[in-house]
A and B are shown apart, each in its own frame.
Chain A
Amino acid sequence: MFARFLLMTTQLPGDALVSLNAVNKHYGQLHVLKDINLQVRKGEVVVVIGPSGSGKSTLCRAINRLETIDDGDIAIDGKRLPEEGKELARLRADVGMVFQSFNLFAHKTILENVTLGPIKVKGVSKAEADKEAMALLERVGVGHQAPKLPAQLSGGQQQRVAIARALAMKPKVMLFDEPTSALDPEMINEVLDVMIQLAKEGMTMIVVTHEMGFARKAADRVVFMADGQIVEDDTPEEFFTKPKSSRAKDFLSKLLTH
């Protein structure tokens, strides 16, 4: 039993918290992830940007296996992502995910949305989970909305609840898949502020976004993707002032002229 456990959780080299090695994925004929190598260390904030269709969302979703990959391997904290099943569920509990469309459980109250994971997955008592959830909801500024249903909240508020829901699992790393793309402009900042705060507190984050301001302010590294490949991987300072590839220059020029 123990030997089998060791086999399933083979340690991979390096001190990376999230590690992608030679990852490939196809959608039929379309090669959406081409030989992706990416290492994210503990406490690092990595922003993934690139034109739409570049594979950045697929990359983000592959890290907790919401998308399967064709070959290569992905490891979280040294443990290779297992196949579908109990092991995978356990690993996913350590990886927080925030979606573009919030995906709050529509039939559960705000408080229940946050406590459901700790109670059902981690076996935390209801009283304990409620207390922690309220603290998290206060932290993201929606504590007074706790008894409401998701549909009664604005998009910005829903997304902050979604962040609290992910944090309630005490994840090792947080994935953000275009967290502000579905929001009205005046609500974007309230979500970004929460994310910036989270970054300051040392959370390991992988953020797919179009918010260049966030990338400049909070990112340790910017990963630029185009056509399923990682084209650049640099500090925000370097990337925004001296992009090396013509693809990145082209992308940035389009952003800045509008």
Chain B
Amino acid sequence: MDVIIDSLPQYWDGFLRTLFLAAVSGIIALVAGTLLAAARVSPVAALRGFSMAYVEVVRNTPLTIAFFFAAVVLPRLGVTFQQFEVAAIIALSAYTAAFIAEAVRSGVNSVPVGQAEAARSIGMKFGQVLSLIILPQALRTVIPPMINILIALVKNSSVAGAFYVLELFGYGKQLANDHGDAVMWVLVGVAFFYLLITVPLGYLAHQVERKVAIAR
């Protein structure tokens, strides 16, 4: 137990870094995922095709591949980073966006087709129908799966620890090395700090879901 108390500064620093990674990647993924979903239902065939291909490829390959791509392949193509965090954020948001896109798409499908017809019949263009009528309703219905994805994102950010990013899990590895006799407690500490992010996230989701639910 003592190891947790003694290492609180490291834990706290790791906690903040994980929070930062997850928050930035989460926001980027939400925006990119929603755009991908919009592309998937757009009248332009090329956009639909791109979105579908992206989601299929990214969703069906391991996260580690995304990390390798961002941390190893991109620099070789001339895209270099000062910090590994940037590569981690690229990998995490690119990966998570595919899942967000699928969740949003299922939400779009759950909005009755009459809503879009009514919007079109008063003269709205495709972009307006989507942004004013369909997405606001779709996003409300997909809050629970969306939060699941974000919780997975928080946990997935631990992969960054294997790519020289010092976040919660990275610190955990270090501490485990330094305190070989108390590995179990080190990991309990790591788990506790992950829970500190993910449990409130689930609670928040529940509150938001109750607040924005729409009756039909």
Contact = CB atoms under 8 A, between A and B. Distances in A.
Contacts of A92: 120-123
A54 B132 CA distance: 35
Contacts of A101: 112, 114
Contact of B124 (A94, A117, A151, A166): A117
Nearest to A149: B215
Interface residues of B, number: 22
Contact of B117 (A89, A103, A104): A103
Interface in A71-102: 84, 86, 89-97, 99, 101
Interface stretch (B32-40, B133-141, B143-151, B174-182): B133-141
B118 A107 contact: no
11 contacts: A92-B121, A97-B117, A97-B122, A99-B118, A106-B214, A107-B214, A116-B122, A121-B123, A122-B123, A151-B216, A166-B122
A165 interface: yes
B128 interface: yes
A64 interface: yes
Interface of B: 43, 112, 114-115, 117-125, 128, 132-133, 136-137, 140, 214-216
Contact of B114 (A99, A152, A169): A99
Interface string A13-37: 0000000000000000000000000
B137 A107 contact: yes
Given A84-B43, A89-B125, A151-B215, 20 more contacts: A66-B117, A66-B120, A89-B120, A93-B122, A94-B123, A97-B121, A99-B114, A99-B118, A104-B118, A105-B115, A105-B133, A106-B214, A117-B123, A120-B128, A121-B122, A121-B128, A151-B214, A165-B122, A166-B121, A169-B122
Contacts of A84: 43
Contacts of A165: 118, 122
A117 B137 contact: no
B123 A90 contact: yes
Which of A84, A93, A117 has the largest number of chain B CB atoms within 10 A? Answer: A117
B125 A86 contact: yes
Nearest to A166: B122
Contacts of A105: 115, 118-119, 133
Contacts of A117: 122-124
A65 to B, nearest CB: 9
Contacts of A93: 122-123
Which of A64, A97, A105, A169 has the largest number of chain B CB atoms within 10 A? Answer: A105
Contacts of B120: 66, 89, 92
A86 B124 CA distance: 9
Contacts of B125: 86, 89
A120 B191 CA distance: 49
A86 B122 CA distance: 13
A151 B137 CA distance: 14
B140 A107 contact: yes
B114 A103 contact: yes
The 8 nearest A-B residue pairs measured at CB: A93-B123, A151-B215, A117-B122, A103-B118, A103-B114, A97-B121, A121-B123, A92-B123
Which of B117, B118, B122, B124 has the largest number of chain A CB atoms within 10 A? Answer: B122
A112 to B, nearest CB: 10
Contacts of A99: 114, 117-118
Contact of B123 (A89, A106, A151, A152): A89
